[in-house]
Amino acid sequence: MINLISAISVVGLTIGTLGLIVGLSGFNGFDSLIKSLFSSFDPELRITVKEGKSFSTTGPAFDELRRMPDVAYYAEIVEDNALLRYGDRQVFATIKGVSEEYLKFSGIDSMITEGEFRLKDASNNYAVLGEGIAYNLAVGIKQMDPISVYVPKKGRESALLPTGNFNQKLIYPSGIFSIQQELDTKYVIVPLAFAREIFEMPDKVSAVELKLKEGASEKKTKAAISSLLGNGFEIKNRYQQHDYLYKTMLGEKYATYLILILILVIASFNIVGSLTMLILDKKEDIAILRSMGADKRTIRNIFLFEGWLISFLGAIIGTLAGLALCQAQISYGLVKLSGGTSSFIVDAYPMKIVTTDILLVVISVSLIGFLAAWYPVRFISDKLFSDENH
């Protein structure tokens, strides 16, 4: 019975460890996937003004910013909300006007699902729409009907002719992109000149987006830009542009870790039970060892070592099995997303093995096993030695 309980302890710790490895690797996989998707849309550094919605980029500070050795590309952005109308449908969206430099470092062209990434030609302006916007407007790329864009005029209000209160321009859809639902239902990419005209911002921008040169230190460059522009501007890296999302994902990851650790703690009670029964069963053997000169510490270490073997064996087998399962998922995509339909960005659940997570799991399981073995050995052995002395 003692051997059976010990075997059950090993199996319980193995399954718990495997669950930790697979769970954390799954969160890492989704985290890496989302970061790669956002990196195709978000710049490495984004500069906005702390007060107000727009600012001027004329002046020596921004001239020096353009010449900074670590800055590879500098793109001016005009961004604001507008009403879009296509046929009998209409929807609010965020119009993002981008300069030609934006096309050189943005990876959004790789996320086009229909049409192509084109913003202008010799005679027309074009818009690239998020998939959610295109769906709500029922936009047909091949139909080549223009989209009407409406924006309230600045400083004008006419109760008699409401239509005179809006700037209106037409733009043709050229492509549809799909990155992430939040972005797909929000953004429409247009040429910078088009956005400047409809938003009446001929000499101002909403933001400046930067691509750094390979090997450049993001932290040092960010500090240099902050010192150059002063306290009136806010500089955000990719993480800070979506800090709420990344913090939520990190919180979910470690909440899952704590839940699985709690399961392991419960499973470790089998170690407490097996060692308790073993110590009670071996009272005569303990007495023989005592008569041969073994002290209290030596006998206690014997049982501690057995408890550690149970936890260590479970941790090693579970870790190896978890790593093998994760690698099989990475290589062969064993578990599909919704049957592997093409509506998802990836067909199978993404996995990413992170060494620090593996070390964290092994240390956590070993610590739980140590505590589970230490308590019964210390408590019951003290009681046995106390009874012997009496």
Condensed to tens digits (0 to 9), the pLDDT of residues 222-260 reads 999 999 999 999 999 998 998 888 889 889 999 999 999
CA dihedral sign of residues 302, 304, 305, 310? positive
| C-alpha to C-alpha distance for 277 and 282, rounded to whole angstroms | 9
Amino acid at 114: E
What is the per-residue pLDDT across 3-58, written as a single tens digit (0 to 9) for each?
Answer: 887 788 888 889 999 999 999 999 999 989 888 888 888 999 999 999 989 999 99
State the pLDDT at residue 29.
93
Distance of CA 290 to the CA centre of its chain: 58
Burial class (CB in 10 A: 0-12, 13-18, 19+), 258: exposed
| C-alpha to C-alpha distance for 28 and 354, rounded to whole angstroms | 8
Question: What is the reported pTM?
Answer: 0.77
Distance of CA 76 to the CA centre of its chain: 27
State the pLDDT at residue 226.
94
What does the DSSP 8-state code read for residue 215?
T
Query: Which residues of the chain, if any, have pLDDT below 70?
Result: 155-164, 338-345, 380-390
| C-alpha to C-alpha distance for 91 and 308, rounded to whole angstroms | 63
- Per the listing, tokens 């550690």 go with 308
